[in-house]
Amino acid sequence: MRESGVARDGYIAVKAWPAATNPRGKAASAMEHYWITVLLERPVHGELSLIALRVMRDLCVRHGVPFDVITDTDKRFKLPGELMPIAERILQQVMTDRLVRLEPAQEALLRARYIHMSAHWTPEGPFLLRKPAPANRRNVHHNSPQEGYPE
């Protein structure tokens, strides 16, 4: 994580604590088990959402929705200088119906300052309640009624 630059404006720490084990009498292992976690604390800046706002606005205008122009003279919509080239690139690619691709340095900047990261699955007792699903894919539980109940 340090090499990725993601903690550019914050810090990374490693925390460890003994894992709770059930005593097994004489057959108990002399080896101790530990839980280990990596803690990342840093500010996350919200201006990345202004790029999404510009994309949505421009796509709506393309389809005839009457929206006002977004200008950088309005403090509410002003992008930081470091986001301007990223915004221009994303808008240009979206408006020409292309897949959005950023340079590695641009992606690193977004990850370091603008994209929230969370892997909050600290154990609660013997359970890992928020543990990632296989291949780090999120489990989706569809909101469907119980079988036999009306929809």
**Residues 18 and 34 sit within 8 Å (Cβ to Cβ):** yes
Question: Encoding tokens for residue 67?
Answer: 């929206």
Domain residue ranges of the chain, discontinuous segments joined by +: 11-43+117-132, 48-113
pLDDT tens track for 1-50: 667 778 788 888 898 988 877 666 666 667 788 888 888 888 899 999 99
Query: In terms of pLDDT, which residue wins out, 110 or 32?
Result: 110
Q: Which of 41-50, 117-126, 135-144 has the highest mean pLDDT?
A: 41-50
pTM: 0.69
